[in-house]
Amino acid sequence: MYIYAHRGFSGKYPENTMIAFQQAYDLGVDGIELDVQMTKDGELVVIHDERIERTTDGIGYVKDFSYRQLCRFDAGSWFHPRFAGERIPALTDVLDWLANQKRSIVLSIELKNGIIQYDGMEEKLLTLLDSYRLWNHHVIISSFSIQSLYKMRQLAKDINLALLVEGTEQNVLDVARSLNVKEVHVDWTFFISAEGEKVRQEVDTCVYTINEVSLLNKLIGSGVKAIMTDFPDRMIRR
């Protein structure tokens, strides 16, 4: 079973920051998951929430700041003062970093294009990935937004997509088939449901967010391809 670091090594480092990605990589994870929002001036930035106050010292919506303005905020101190100075990474920072890592890993990029609609986000991402030539081998694009995934599929028929699923959703297989997804990423509730059982017979499944070894043990032998965890140190076989 593959181990993906959810928002980087977010159990011990500030989520979605370069230090969290580096630490996850150094630990030997198979993949890294991150979340993408878009700034006022169209930069793709790595942050989970639509607003910045939970994970920075600023206040407001990502969409209302230019990238330069966002760079001023501290994205580390909220987690622990020793991480003061961490910034909200641009997605290009992560891609630059990844391009320089020798060991190949999966990068699971979640498009947070749902609660707030970011016009042109999918096109931006594709243009960017194309310029890095990473997407065919290392990158998977995920979203809860079916609309966003359809758009990605229209724009790039070969790109790897993952449908995000939670709770008691139904008809997941139909959507997954029509999107031709590579994987579904599901929460525990969905995983243990009858629908979840049906889906994983047909589509590679990754379960998020597994932070306890006891849960990981329950997944062994289930055919699950990967788990996402905030604590890859607990999950990785050393």
CA dist 214 and 220 (Å) reads 10
Handedness of CA 57, 63, 64, 70 (dihedral sign): positive
Print the binding letters for residues 40-79 with Ca ion: x by CB under 5 A, - otherwise.
----------------------------------------
* Catalytic-residue membership of 80: no
CA dist 44 and 38 (Å) reads 5
Q: Which of 30, 35, 74, 233 binds Ca ion (CB under 5 A)?
A: 35
Does the footprint of Ca ion cover residue 110 (CB under 5 A)?
yes
Parallel, antiparallel or unpaired: strands 2-6 and 226-229: parallel
The tokens describing 203, both together, are: 């589509």
Start-to-end Cα distance in the chain: 14
Partner from ligand G3P, Ca ion, none binding residue 86, C-beta < 5-8 Å depending on class: none
Print the binding letters for residues 66-105 with ligand G3P: x by CB under 6 A, - otherwise.
----------------------------------------
Print the binding letters for residues 146-185 with ligand G3P: x by CB under 6 A, - otherwise.
------------------x--------------------x
| Nearest distance from C-beta of residue 35 to Ca ion, angstroms | 4
CA dist 15 and 23 (Å) reads 11
What does each C-alpha distance from 108 to 3, 58, 79, 134, 195 come to in angstroms? 12, 27, 23, 12, 24
* Catalytic-residue membership of 6: yes
Does the footprint of ligand G3P cover residue 200 (CB under 6 A)?
no
> Which residues contact ligand G3P (rule: CB under 6 A)?
6, 33, 35, 48, 110, 142, 164, 185, 208, 228
Q: Which residues are catalytic?
A: 6, 48
